[in-house]
Amino acid sequence: MSHATAPAAINLDRPRFRSVILDVDSTVCDIEGIDWLAARRDPETARESEALTAQAMAGEIPIEAVYTRRLQRIRPTDDELLALAHAYRAALQPGATELIAALQRAGVQVHLLSGGLRRAIVPVAEQLGLPANRVHAVALARDTDGTLSLLDGDQPLATQRGKPLIVQQLALATPSVMIGDGSTDAAVRGVVTQFIAYTGVAHREHVVAVADAVADSFAALYPLLFHPVSSR
């Protein structure tokens, strides 16, 4: 892993935002968790899951139309969710750990906001120095066969409008910024001060088109999240 450090002209004591919200799949980590699980099944399940994820992230179909269908097809076990947590940890974007640490040292509240599976994301958050209550993701319930194939009651993040809804409920300190690659991240635009499209893993034109700024790496996020040294 490369250790991207802050550019010299950045003042790490002067963050631009009081709250930073990061998407996980294809932003903090370069995998899509549900597709990763599906890839452990037959090729047809993997292909179908990947196509559904791509369509949902492109805004072509609502997530809620596919979320339960993918879960019921994949039927993830406890062990597989643990394996996914390890895969996430191995798939952190270069510099992600360092940037999140720098933000926290500057007193910024950092949150992970994901349509992915909470159980697999909490261990990644721990590695990033974020407590479990900064993780907002989809909680699963056990089906009769012992697999975690059901949503645990009402899970707004398994729906298209979940991210803006959760951000509103969190009543975050402002100014706030959302950083992500997908259409569900762009949907947060109206309830945060700024939306940054992250293109380091996936470049989606319609997401970039509505963004206030674009970053293609975690190193590129520094000038967007911190003031320069010279500014007073």
Angle at 53 between CA 52 and CA 55, to 5 degrees: 65
Q: Does residue 181 belong to the site contacting Mg ion (CB under 5 A)?
A: yes
Start-to-end Cα distance in the chain? 34
Reading the block at residue 32, the tokens are 């899509």
Closest CA to 175 of 197, 194, 190, 196: 194
Has 78 been annotated as catalytic? no
| Encoded amino acid at 91, one letter | A
79 is catalytic: no
Query: Among 7-15, 33-41, 94-102, 174-182, which window interacts with Mg ion (CB under 5 A)?
Result: 174-182
If one asks whether residue 33 binds Mg ion (CB under 5 A), the answer comes out as no
Instruction: Specify the 3-state DSSP secondary structure of 110.
Output: strand
The 3-state DSSP class for residue 35 equals: helix
Identify which of residues 58 and 165 has a Cβ nearer to Mg ion in the complex. 58
The answer to whether residue 182 forms part of the interface with Mg ion (CB under 5 A) is yes
Q: Which stretch binds Mg ion (CB under 5 A): 23-31, 62-70, 119-127, 221-229?
A: 23-31
Instruction: Give the side-chain half-sphere CA count within 13 A for 192.
Output: 29
Window contacting Mg ion (CB under 5 A); options: 18-26, 39-47, 93-101, 152-160:
18-26
Euclidean distance between CA atoms 108 and 179, whole angstroms: 14
* Sign of the C-alpha dihedral computed for residues 37, 119, 92 and 22 taken in this order: positive
Fill in the amino acid letter for 211: A
Per rule CB under 5 A, is residue 162 in the interface with Mg ion?
A: no
Q: Which is nearer to Mg ion, 185 or 226 (CB)?
A: 185
Q: Please report whether residue 155 would count as binding Mg ion according to CB under 5 A.
A: no
The DSSP output letter for 29 is: B
35 binds Mg ion (CB under 5 A): no
Select which of 25, 35, 181, 185 is catalytic: 25
Question: Considering the rule CB under 5 A, would residue 23 count as an interface residue with Mg ion?
Answer: yes
147 vs 185 by CB, closer to Mg ion:
185
Least distance to Mg ion from the beta carbon of 99, Å? 17
Alpha-helical regions (H) of 118-212: 118-127, 162-170, 183-186, 205-209
Task: Please identify, using beta-carbon distances, which residue of 27 and 149 lies nearer to Mg ion.
Answer: 27
- Sole binder of Mg ion in the list 4, 15, 19, 26 (CB under 5 A): 26
Residue 25 binds Mg ion, judged by CB under 5 A: yes
Applying CB under 5 A, the site for Mg ion has a residue count of: 5
Where on the phi/psi map is residue 59: left (φ > 0), alpha (ψ -120 to 50), or beta?
left
Residues that are catalytic:
23, 25
Give the interface with Mg ion as residue ranges (CB under 5 A).
23, 25-26, 181-182
